[in-house]
Amino acid sequence: MANEMLHDFFPFVRVYTNGRIERLMGQDTVPPSSLDPATGVQSKDVDIAPEINLSARIYLPPNAHRSKKLPLLVYYHGGGFVIESAFSAQYQKHLNHLVAQANVVAVSVNYRLAPEFPLPIAFEDSWRALKWSAEGKEEWIEEFADLSRVYLGGDSAGANIAHNMAMRVGSENPEGFNLRGIFLNCPFFGGVDPIGSETTEQSKRGREFSERLLRFVWPGLRDCDEAWVNPGKDPKISGLGCGKVLVYVAEKDFLKERGWYYKEVVSNCGWKGEIQCFEVAGEDHVFSVIVPDNEIGIAMLRKVASFINN
């Protein structure tokens, strides 16, 4: 049949034999806000490379002033590399609260998605957006951001991107900015061999789904021990291009073992920085993105704010 299902990644995306791609969530968008009533944060959309439809939403905290420049945060959204955008209602709310808590100028990158644009396109878009941000030519960045205090952050697949961008900073050492640190919220990493509690039945199902998804978004994937998936197998991991890392994991998230493993690997690889990992009891994957304004979400954002500003 022409409309037979070819790939089923419920609840994210389905692909049919006739080429139709059906995204099942993360498709809503909202406009930027001249003044978010809950946080006082302003936002606007910018084109980075319109010829490839690469863009971003930039955020400015309420007390921004030209006389005191603020850290610059480049943020990468989650969604398994296949759904969501920098312009969704969920990420608009999340970034508003994050920017207000951390008092930063933020660039939320709208990288292109698989399968139309398979990996490594998202990585190339993300790198281009980082370098564009660090050029400091955009008005808000030029007037309010301190390029000697740059941070990267992301959740799930976006946390994977943030790590891989920091690795590229370490290897290429680009001029014009200083990457101080990265924060990874429930990072989407994997590996061939199970670790810790990944041997449970629930985790096995999660690992199988993740491996199928990773092969879908990067069709040339050899296995899940490639360095971009499993930093523990990266011989260059000690070259991580920042001085500090904050990792968040959630008790009910099968990916939590990968966050703890990441901390172990980075702590023992010869990297000279400082890494912290926190596990939040009773919560599931990217809980603070889904609900950034409840007690637990706010507590996490405060921890991120402290990480950036201290």
pTM (predicted TM-score): 0.98
Question: How far does CA 73 lie from the centroid of its chain?
Answer: 11
Q: Residue 3: what pLDDT?
A: 82
- CATH number assigned to the domain covering 24-309: 3.40.50.1820
pLDDT along the chain (310 residues), means of 10: 87 96 96 97 98 98 95 98 98 98 98 98 98 97 98 98 98 96 98 95 94 97 98 98 98 97 98 98 97 97 97
Q: Residue 196: what pLDDT?
A: 94
Q: Residue 272: what pLDDT?
A: 96
Tokens representing residue 161 in the block: 């991107």
Q: Residue 2: what pLDDT?
A: 59
Alpha-carbon distance of 90 to 260, in angstroms, equals 26
CB 97 within 8 A of CB 39: yes
Burial class (CB in 10 A: 0-12, 13-18, 19+), 21: middle
Residues classed as catalytic: 156, 253, 285
Q: Residue 57: what pLDDT?
A: 98
